[in-house]
Amino acid sequence: MSEITLVEAVNQALAYEMQADDNVVLLGEDIAKNGGVFRSTVGLLERFGPQRVLDTPLAESMIAGVSIGMAMQGLKPVAEFQFMGFMYAGMEHIISHASRIRNRTRGRLTCPLVFRTPYGAGIHAPEHHSESTEALFAHIPGLRVVIPSSPVRAYGLLLAAIRDPDPVIFLEPTRIYRLVKQTVPDNGQALPLDKCFVLREGSDITLVTWGNMVYETLKAAGQLAEQNIQAEVIDVATIKPLDMQTILASVEKTGRCVIIHEAARTCGVGAEIAAQLAERCLLCLMAPVKRVTGYDTIVPYAKMEKHYLPTAEKIIKAVEDVLSYEG
């Protein structure tokens, strides 16, 4: 069995579920004939035909609205927005309708759909192509927000997202689309939503992260281990609903925490995690929780983005600050 990249794992999961369930349909800009801007849907038109793999106009509001209509009529649409920055035109439908169908009908109806989009910086693209605004969607009741960080997790989490009866925002970090390869059995086994993954166990400090930043965090943890600092690394994976139990259990063990995300600092998901740690684990903490994040600016263009994104060096500095804290 050959190893595949994250974007290939997305394709593999889509193909598996389309084969298993005739109600699964794909729609989006250039996803059919061209196979998607990142080639995540390549070959699916030829395999499943134009009635199930649909090219749409450049109209994100229409994509969102049509997807909701499909879901309300018994289909399971998986809609792709070319980049996260293009989703905003569809947010009225996503917030006002997709997220509210279950509540509006008092549980009589659900809205089983997935909105996929590449997200995050690191590929030297201009604004709207480098957005990390996951906190916008995490704030909306009725939406589930999932961010895979490896081929294995992309495959398993996407299967779970398509099978979920409620709307899922599925954010795929562009920087790591082809960064690593893994063996991903095409066995249809979903991974659990709403659960963190402990990627590395440690006893000295907890590092909490997701998406693109998982690899910088693991790199930092490896370098810290050379200094005999054992960092536990947690991939949040589903940022809404948030699995605080796994994070709390880790911080209760280590007594220290650094949260890493590439999104802007103010009102980011890291702030929510820090707030819950303060409310529920304050007496376990031996130092204040520290965040390593992007800045409260638009992601700068091209090579300047390296100054925006958190790095292993910045993470190590934050860990050293937390470990040296004397209250």
Decide: 187 and 211 in contact? Cβ < 8 Å.
no
pLDDT at 117 over 90: yes
Which of 129, 139, 261, 307 is an active site residue? 129
pLDDT at 16 over 80: yes
Using a pLDDT cut of 70, give the percent of the chain over it.
100
pLDDT at 124 over 90: no
Distance CA 299, CA 125 (A): 9
pLDDT band of residue 327 (cuts 50, 70, 90) is confident
3-state secondary structure at position 84: helix
pLDDT at 26 over 90: yes
Tell if the pTM clears 0.95, that is, is over it: yes
Distance CA 270, CA 291 (A): 7
Give the position of tokens 């400090």: 205
pLDDT single digits (tens) 285-298: 999 999 999 999 99
Half-sphere exposure of 80 (CA within 13 A, CB side): 26
pLDDT at 302 over 80: no
Answer yes or no: 129 catalytic: yes
Query: One fold for both 3-183 and 197-323?
Result: yes
Angle value at C-alpha 116, between 114 and 117, nearest 5 degrees: 160
pLDDT at 303 over 90: no
Q: Would you kindly state where each structural domain of the chain is located, as residue ranges?
A: 3-183, 197-323
Fold of 3-183: Rossmann fold (3.40.50)
Fold of 197-323: Rossmann fold (3.40.50)
pLDDT single digits (tens) 147-186: 999 999 999 999 999 999 999 999 999 999 999 999 999 9
- Residue 1 has what pLDDT? 74
pLDDT at 202 over 80: yes
3-state secondary structure at position 168: strand
